[in-house]
């Protein structure tokens, strides 16, 4: 088993369902934390995109959840977990343009079907685990010191 990478920072942020007034505050705070640690603009941008999309998915689709920021010497990990309906077909929701957004969210301009795709495109490692009726966990990892194109 490889040695564990030392933890530099760990933060847990609660995310309320349907709270569009507070939506985006977690991604703003994550951006602030990464800048304070001296992360490169590229890493901060990628993490901000991942975090905003994941945070919005919790706000729009779940009964609430949390975002966990883990910064290690060699990576930034963002974990999103929710108490929601779960995802029946993870492969389908990963396709650009596919959306299960409720009507109220679409009326506000959300639900273009690009959130999961944007998260995956900005990650070096990406994983979704979901159970219908139980919720979803997404892990997005940015490897530090690895070129991103």
Q: What is the pLDDT of residue 1?
A: 56
Mean pLDDT (the chain) is 89
Q: From the options 3.30.565.10, 3.30.43.10, 1.10.287.110, 1.10.645.10, give the CATH code of 7-143.
A: 3.30.565.10
Report whether pLDDT(129) > 90. yes
Residue range 36-89, pLDDT digits in tens: 999 999 999 999 999 999 999 999 888 999 999 999 999 999 999 999 888 888
Q: What is the pLDDT of residue 114?
A: 66
- Greater model confidence, 107 or 90: 90
**Please, are residues 53 and 118 in contact by the beta-carbon 8 Å criterion?**
yes
């Amino acid at each position: 088993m490889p040695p564990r990478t030392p933890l530099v920072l760990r933060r847990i942020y609660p995310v309320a369902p349907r709270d569009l007034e507070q939506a985006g505050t977690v991604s703003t705070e994550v951006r602030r934390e990464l800048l304070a640690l001296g992360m490169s603009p590229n890493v901060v941008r990628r993490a901000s995109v991942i975090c905003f999309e994941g945070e919005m998915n919790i706000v729009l689709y779940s009964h609430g959840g949390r975002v966990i920021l883990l910064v290690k010497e060699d990576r930034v990990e963002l974990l999103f977990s929710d108490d929601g309906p779960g995802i029946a077909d993870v492969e389908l929701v990963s396709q650009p343009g596919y959306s299960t957004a409720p009507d109220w969210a679409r009326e506000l301009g959300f639900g273009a079907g690009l959130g999961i795709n944007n998260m995956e495109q900005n990650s070096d490692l990406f994983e979704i685990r979901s159970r219908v009726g139980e919720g979803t966990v997404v892990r997005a990892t940015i490897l530090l010191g690895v070129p991103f194109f």
